[in-house]
């Protein structure tokens, strides 16, 4: 692998980890909602910076139409 491929693999792993962690939040407590917001902010920032250099969510195997906001809309306070 070359350096660019290595970096893309790392970004993919980080993005997937953040998404998986956000999806595992299952409580409506303030603490759980704070965790979810933190994952959303991190993933949103990562994807925003990737877009600047032409890396799409699909390149990170998140799906072509993935939007970080989707993680928030499916989680509601209990």
> For the segment 7-54, what is each residue's pLDDT rounded down to a tens digit?
999 999 999 999 999 999 988 899 999 999 999 999 999 999 999 999
pTM: 0.84
Contact 43, 19 (CB under 8 A): yes
Domain range list for the chain: 3-69
Contact 72, 40 (CB under 8 A): yes
């Amino acid at each position: 692998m070359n350096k660019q491929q290595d970096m893309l693999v790392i970004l993919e792993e980080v993005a997937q980890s953040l998404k998986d962690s956000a999806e595992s939040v299952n409580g409506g407590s303030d603490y759980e909602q704070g965790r979810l917001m933190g994952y959303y902010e991190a993933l949103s920032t990562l994807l925003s910076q990737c877009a600047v250099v032409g890396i799409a969510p699909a390149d990170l195997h998140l799906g072509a139409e993935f939007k970080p906001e989707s993680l928030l809309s499916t989680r509601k306070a209990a």
